[in-house]
Chain A
Amino acid sequence: MKILVPVKRVIDYNVKVRVKSDQSGVDLANVKMSMNPFDEIAVEEAVRLKEAGTAEEIVAVSIGPEKAQDQLRQALAMGADRAILIKTEETVEPLAVAKLLKKVVEEESPELVILGKQAIDDDSNQTGQMLAALLGWAQGTFASKVNLADGKIDVTREIDGGLQTVSLKLPAIVTTDLRLNEPRYASLPNIMKAKKKPLDVKEIGDYGVDVAPRLETLKVTEPPKREAGVKVESVAELVDKLKNEAGVL
């Protein structure tokens, strides 16, 4: 069985994000970038399925800038067999990504696509679901446990109020939640080996898909700063403020 794992290059989770002074977006200049943590979990799950003998090949794919090769190399170092970069310097929205992934699925014919449930930059949480709809495949989102056997995949999902297990017929889409696994480190020998694994670079135009953004960003601003509290001199003043300013008494 072949597994496709899409990975996204995002701002590192440790970076304190800054808004550009013209409010057109987030400042990405000289900022540390990493693989989306949910995608790391997706790669790890695919590698475990391969190690268990369930999967034969893992293909990692990324849609993004030239530098997204770093994240694909990381996926290769973790255990993916080969990688595809669909190059674009433009912003691609979830629908465009899903359409491009559909094309990749048609070329590669995997039986399983494992994606992060969302990317930590825009938190859209849409690509997996859209891809399932476009392909007409079954989907198991927010997976905290995956069990693959007899052409079926049981996905335990984290939902409000508990866990739900769905049984999907293959081919299928799975999106990963935080507790699915703990991703491994890319060891140094595997980092070296990853340099020699195949990485195809394609242009976004090769796929003949309409990737024009449907959304227009008007402005991006910092969350409002929390203001300091007020000190009161007496209980009477406190009661007065609660009554007349806060209106809670």
Chain B
Amino acid sequence: MTEPLSFDVTRLPSPHLNDSHEAWRQTVRAFVDREISPHVNEWDEAGAFPRELHKKAAAAGLIGLGFPEEYGGISDGVDVFHSLIAAEELARAGSGGLVAGLMTHGIGLPPIIALGSEELKQRIAPAVLAGDKLIALCVTEPSGGSDVANLKTKAVKKNGGYIVNGEKTFITSGRRADYLTVAVRTGSGGAGGLSFLLIEADRPGITRTPLKKMGWWMSDTASIHFDDVAVPAENLIGQENAGFAGIVANFNMERLSMAAQAVAFARVCIEDAAAWARDRQTFGKPLAKHQVIRHKFAEMTRMTNATQSYLDHCAWRVMKGESPVAELSLLKVQATRTMEFCAREAMQILGGAGFMRGCRVERIYREVRVMAIGGGSEEIMNDLAARQMGL
């Protein structure tokens, strides 16, 4: 007898996973089952999750994962697959908003670790990795997101520090964050004039406005306005006008991790649709016995299998120290298309029940667009890949 279709059955075995990965999966799964899954519906409706979850996640090792030990991170014996397992298991709760809000430091902190001074790292990283302080990444502006090289928020040198003016938008954890990692223009136009500043969110001149969204309700998303905000020189992250490298430093892990989440969401859709299809009786037999429905499961599984294999391949190359930009771009497209397809098909199988709020598939369906647009839209990803094809 074969195992019924489920989240675990749709996870292809990977040659890259060892006992420590499996043990880590059990830890994250237990954490999600105890601390997250019972509350996701409630949190999404409330538009927020408790701040203490950051501390609990830090205690379980989720927040420090992949960051250097000397700043309170966990890096000894850790590889990229531990991070992807965390992304995948967090996604199992069926809320991308939770992952985005809980793990915002995953994009906010790396520029500091990659470029920042020792003093800055010591000042910021330990409190963030302990779950005591939240940090958000501020790059996108009302005038543009993907076109990073042309962003407009200005930092002008004055009295040995900087005065910042401008506006950032679609900032994840923007209202809750204690620290903001802000991309600013310090030099001339283009990528060569960009710097990163660490700005404490309580500095005078900062106003933050919440934004309402199609999905990711429990994740706080905000516009942030900077009006003559004074920032000391020691808050400069790395060298002046060399900030673009910090922006790029995030991309590989962000795209891998989003791809891992997207496949996991697709597997959640398969699991919930399969459970429903086995149970629901129509025309005298279970939904799952109708060919038109069965083929949907074959198609969904084909897509998650292919995406998972591609994800393993890309992760393995990143683990070896490569930076396969074109592959990672295509992987992200593949993963969000898979998520989109599975969310659609699972909704068709669930029918009216899927349209009702309070189930994982309904929420995932609402979150498809942010996954396909955020962290590099499908169009930008395809273009980035095509540019490296020698066409």
Contacts and interface: CB of A to CB of B under 8 A. Distances in A.
Contact of B65 (A27, A73, A185, A188): A188
A51 B285 CA distance: 57
Interface residues of B, number: 22
A213 to B, nearest CB: 26
B1 A188 contact: no
B10 to A, nearest CB: 14
A132 B106 CA distance: 51
B2 to A, nearest CB: 9
Interface in B69-125: 74, 76-78, 82
A74 interface: yes
Contacts of B78: 188, 192
Interface in A1-43: 16, 18, 21, 27, 30, 32, 34
A195 interface: yes
A29 B77 CA distance: 31
A18 B24 CA distance: 27
Interface of B: 1, 3-4, 8, 19-20, 22-24, 26-27, 30-31, 59-61, 65, 74, 76-78, 82
B149 to A, nearest CB: 37
Contact of A195 (B20, B22, B61): B20
Nearest to A16: B4
A21 B1 contact: yes
A169 to B, nearest CB: 36
A17 B77 CA distance: 35
A70 interface: yes
Contacts of B20: 191-192, 195
Interface string A158-195: 00000000000000000000000000011111011011
Contacts of A192: 20, 76-78
Interface residues of A, number: 20
A97 interface: no
Contacts of B19: 70, 73, 195
A68 interface: no
A70 B24 CA distance: 12
B23 A27 contact: no
A204 to B, nearest CB: 23
5 contacts: A74-B26, A185-B59, A186-B23, A191-B27, A192-B77
Nearest to A14: B33
6 tightest A-B CB contacts, nearest first = A188-B61, A187-B61, A192-B77, A185-B27, A191-B23, A185-B60
A189 B78 CA distance: 9
B74 A188 contact: yes
Contacts of B61: 185, 187-189
A30 B3 contact: yes
Given A18-B1, A185-B30, A188-B74, A77 B60 contact: no
Contacts of B4: 16
Contacts of B3: 30
B57 to A, nearest CB: 10
Contacts of A185: 27, 30-31, 59-61
Contact of B26 (A21, A27, A34, A194): A34
Given A32-B8, A77-B23, A195-B20, A189 B59 contact: no
Nearest to B78: A188
Contacts of A194: 23
Given A185-B30, A185-B60, A74 B23 contact: yes
Contacts of A74: 23, 26
B258 to A, nearest CB: 21
Given A73-B19, A192-B76, A192-B77, A186 B1 contact: no
B23 A189 contact: no
Contact of B23 (A21, A32, A70): A70
Contacts of A18: 1
A27 B65 CA distance: 36
Contacts of A70: 19, 22-23
B1 A73 contact: no
B68 to A, nearest CB: 13
B24 A191 contact: yes
Nearest to B35: A185
Nearest to A32: B8
Given A186-B23, A188-B74, 8 more contacts: A30-B3, A70-B23, A77-B23, A186-B26, A187-B59, A188-B65, A191-B20, A192-B76
A190 to B, nearest CB: 8
Contacts of A21: 1
A188 B26 contact: no
B8 A188 contact: no
A189 B59 CA distance: 11
A195 B8 CA distance: 25
A181 to B, nearest CB: 13
B27 A73 contact: no
Contacts of B30: 185
B54 to A, nearest CB: 15
A186 B23 CA distance: 8
Nearest to A189: B74
Contacts of A188: 24, 27, 61, 65, 74, 78, 82
A32 B60 CA distance: 22
B74 to A, nearest CB: 5
A109 B4 CA distance: 47
Contacts of A34: 26
A70 to B, nearest CB: 7
Nearest to A73: B23
Nearest to B65: A188
Interface centre among B27, B31, B65 (most CB of A within 10 A): B27
